Amino acid sequence: MIHCWKNVLIKPQNTIRDALEIINTEALRVALVVDEQQTLLGVVTDGDIRRGLLKNLPLTDVVSKVMNSQPITALKATSREDLIQLMDSQDILSIPLLNADGKLIGLETLHEALHQPKHQNPVFIMAGGFGTRLKPLTDTCPKPMLHIGNKPILETVIRSFIKAGFVNFYISTHYMPEQIQAHFGDGSELGVNISYVHEEQPLGTGGALGLLPKDLPEGLPLIMMNGDVLTKVDFQRLLEFHVENDADATMCVREYDYQIPYGVINGEGNKISGMVEKPIQRFFVNAGIYVVSPRVISSVPKNHHIDMPTLLEQHMNDRDNVLMFPIHEYWLDIGRMDDFNRAQADIHTLGMD
């Protein structure tokens, strides 16, 4: 039994943001909602929070609005073998333990090593950009090879996927490709397979799909990501979401808040019907991480210029089967110098250095 389970306890009046901080900070990746008598009221996972975000619930709402109030539980006396079998059958990674009176007294988890399958799904990383906004750093170095902490951005990205069980990588190059290939080679030093596709001319964020070899693992969706994004996204859960929903494509999205700096006036004719002081508008924005199914990959001709949003719009019009996956984990697009400096400060606290 994990002994730090008390670190993930939370009260029902706490906010969704409080639960989010616990999930992202603690290794257990779950928050347990209890009352003053230590009675378990519910369980909150990142999936519960995602569903709340899709319902436009603000992070300031109480956590009781997103918690699973009927979680699977077990008695403390349950054998470890039975607990593992129960978690396997229910496809969950942890289970709260209760005493005979129904009070929470622990949390049992499946060890990560027991459930770390090797994913044969290709991972396609876009690393061909010029990094113009990071000049002069990119005058002699492609942006994905700039060091954040003690290694290149691209290596941090690849190691994040390796940690999640992915082993087959393709890297799209254009600007100074020799530096990228010299550093990573065929991936054998990292224990994975790395191949390269080279864009003679920039093909847009989606066009490089047309350069991928035809012998990709048959029938498996591909994860695609910009090589200048630093993130703690759970790639395994992203892939599971895509497969479970049988999507043509899945786009990771981030919630973006914009506060209008003025009082907004609503009116009917010359009569004021309402006023809102500096309202906040919430949007979902593209996070530059996608899962695409084989039919999307095969739809891109070789050397055809197209951006991912345009490509996904085409498939939305065809079958209306493109989904979004809200991410609340750490995410930073290293596009400008202030982003680069922020990443240098963040990398150590993220445990990714």
Q: Do 70 and 159 belong together in one domain?
A: no
If we measure between CA atoms, which residue out of 291, 99, 312 comes closest to residue 204?
Answer: 312
Q: Are residues 128 and 100 in the same domain?
A: no
Distance CA 206, CA 305 (A): 7
- The predicted model gives 5-34 an average pLDDT of 88
To the question of pTM greater than 0.75 for the whole model, the response is no
Does 79 share its domain with 148? no
Contact in structure between 16 and 42 (CB atoms under 8 Å): no
pLDDT in the model for residue 116: 58
How far apart, in Å, are the Cα atoms of 26 and each of 2, 141, 149?
Answer: 12, 36, 23
- Specify burial of residue 185 (Cβ count, 10 A radius: 0-12, 13-18, 19+): exposed
Of 52, 81, 114, which residue sits at a domain end? Answer: 114
Q: What share of the chain is helix, strand, coil (3-state, %, to 5)?
A: 35, 30, 35
Using alpha carbons only, give the angle 220, 208, 210 rounded to the nearest 5 degrees: 65
pLDDT over 70, % of the chain: 96
CA distance 321 to 242: 11
pLDDT tier at 167, thresholds 50, 70, 90:
very high
Answer whether residue 346 shows pLDDT above 70: yes
- Higher-confidence residue: 309 or 83? 309
Residue 299 Cα distances to 103, 110, 202, 210, 311, angstroms:
55, 40, 18, 8, 9
**How confident is the prediction for the chain on average, in pLDDT?**
89
Pick from 114, 147, 175: which residue ends a domain? 114
Q: Is the pLDDT of residue 328 over 80?
A: yes
Within this chain, do residues 228 and 126 fall inside the same structural domain, yes or no?
yes
Q: Of 51, 79, 114, which one is at a domain's C-terminal end? A: 114
Length reported for the chain:
353
- 133 and 269, same domain (yes or no): yes
Specify the DSSP class assigned to residue 118.
P
Q: Are residues 93 and 16 in the same domain?
A: yes
Q: Is residue 226 located within the same domain as residue 307?
A: yes
Same domain, 108 and 123: no
Residue range 93-133, pLDDT digits in tens: 888 888 878 888 888 877 543 555 689 999 999 998 888 89
Overall number of domains in the chain = 2
Q: Is the pLDDT of residue 42 over 80?
A: yes
Domain containing residue 131: 117-350
Tell me, yes or no, whether 129 and 229 share the same domain. yes
Is residue 107 within a helix (H) or strand (E), and if so which, with residue range?
A: strand 104-109
Burial class (CB in 10 A: 0-12, 13-18, 19+), 243: middle
89 pLDDT tier (thresholds 50, 70, 90): confident
37, pLDDT greater than 80? yes
- Give the residues across from 271 on adjacent strands: 268
The reply to whether 105 and 161 lie within a common domain is no
Q: Strand locations in 144-279, DSSP E?
A: 147-148, 151-152, 166-173, 193-198, 222-226, 229-231, 249-259, 263-268, 271-277
Beta pairing, strands 94-98 & 166-173: unpaired
Residue 170: pLDDT above 80?
yes
Say whether both 96 and 244 belong to one domain: no
* pLDDT at position 186 over 70: yes
Query: Given a cut of 50, is residue 3 above it in pLDDT?
Result: no
Per-residue pLDDT, averaged over 42-53, amounts to 91
- Please tell me whether residue 286 adopts helix, strand or coil conformation: strand
User: What CATH number does residue 97 fall under?
Assistant: 3.10.580.10
With 60 as the cut, is the pLDDT of residue 82 above it? yes
Domain shared by 54 and 99, yes or no: yes
CATH number, residue 273: 3.90.550.10
